[in-house]
Amino acid sequence: MTTMVVKCFGVDYGRYTPPDTIDHQRMLDAGILWHCIGITGNPWADQHFQLAIDRGVPYLDAYVIPRSFTENPSERALWAADKLERWRQFIGIVWLDAEQVDAGAVPAAQVAGWLRGVRRILENRRFRCGLYSNRRQWDQVLGLAPFDEEFRDLPRWDACYDDQPYSGYSGAWAGRVDEPAVDQFAGSRTVFGANVDLNWVAGEERIIMDDQIKALFREVLEQEGRLGEKIDKLRAELLVDSFLLASGRNKEVLDRVTYEATAAQIQLPQ
């Protein structure tokens, strides 16, 4: 599963958030549609993913923190890929932590080697990767031009912590000056009883699309040829309502597509 462009609030959590403290429905009702689950050192990771999926959370990501940048990146990546394989269809991005995690300084080339190695294996396993850091941390552990160039194609999750959910971010890093994909604007807050960090999701080119819906449009296009603006309009409305698909409420979307298509005198396949 992938996700669509959507502006929403999000939370991230891991080993410090017991699964039974998370009220998914109240979060959804409050517009918190994105959950990012940390797996390093998290004994509840499987429960976190299963509950989020069962409760209809539409946008799910994961994040991986190195124990140390001196660890073997292949071992960490293979462990993460195996851990996440069960949930791969539901995960949009696996975020790789690029903060200072070692007590002493680690050469930038070694940090880059960890990120490069983990990214390569995860992408070979068909996971999409992103970077988690901020301007100060990136400059501290990796702030050299060659590494900016190497990793600038990855989406950024900015650990800003400025309490500005809509416009605040820490500045340029990883060779990018644009708005990050996710802004982590507050940490360790209690939201409906759960200890989480708070985020603002600016949006990524990701879309939740049910196979039945894709087949429907494919058959309609094959039967009628290019339907032009009407089909484009239906597609756009379907994308806007994609969170319904993630919650398992496909019938509501299908019924509306059928109604719109009928109104436009489009013959839907039986």
User: Tell me, what CATH number does 172's domain have?
Assistant: 3.20.20.80
**Per the domain annotation, does 223 fall within a domain?**
yes
Cα torsion 206, 58, 157, 165 to 10°: value is: 120
Note down the domain range covering 100: 8-201
Task: Give percent of the chain with pLDDT exceeding 90.
Answer: 57
Is the distance from CB of 184 to CB of 198 less than 8 angstroms? yes
Q: What is the pLDDT of residues 68-79, one digit of tens each?
A: 999 999 999 999
pTM: 0.74
pLDDT for residue 233: 55
Number of domains in the chain: 2
Give the Cα separation of 114 and 96 in Å (integer).
10
pLDDT at 246 over 50: no
Over 50: is that where the pLDDT of 142 sits? yes
Q: Are residues 102 and 163 in the same domain?
A: yes
56 domain-assigned:
yes
Residue 14: what residue type?
A: G
Identity of the amino acid at 18: P
pLDDT score recorded for residue 2: 42
Q: Which of 64-73, 165-174, 218-227 has the highest mean pLDDT?
A: 64-73
- 106 and 58 in a single domain? The answer is yes
Q: For residue 2, is it within any domain?
A: no
Inside any domain, residue 131 = yes
Say if residues 127 and 95 touch (Cβ distance below 8 Å).
no
Which range, of 121-125, 224-228, 254-258, averages the lowest pLDDT?
224-228
35 and 95 share one domain? yes
Same domain, 45 and 89: yes
Query: 133: Cβ–Cβ under 8 A, 6 or more apart, which residues?
Result: 97, 98, 99, 141, 156, 157, 158, 159, 173, 174
Average pLDDT over residues 222-251: 48
- Average pLDDT of the chain, as a whole number: 80
Of 182, 201, 220, which marks where a domain is finished?
201
Q: Are 94 and 84 in contact (CB under 8 A)?
A: yes
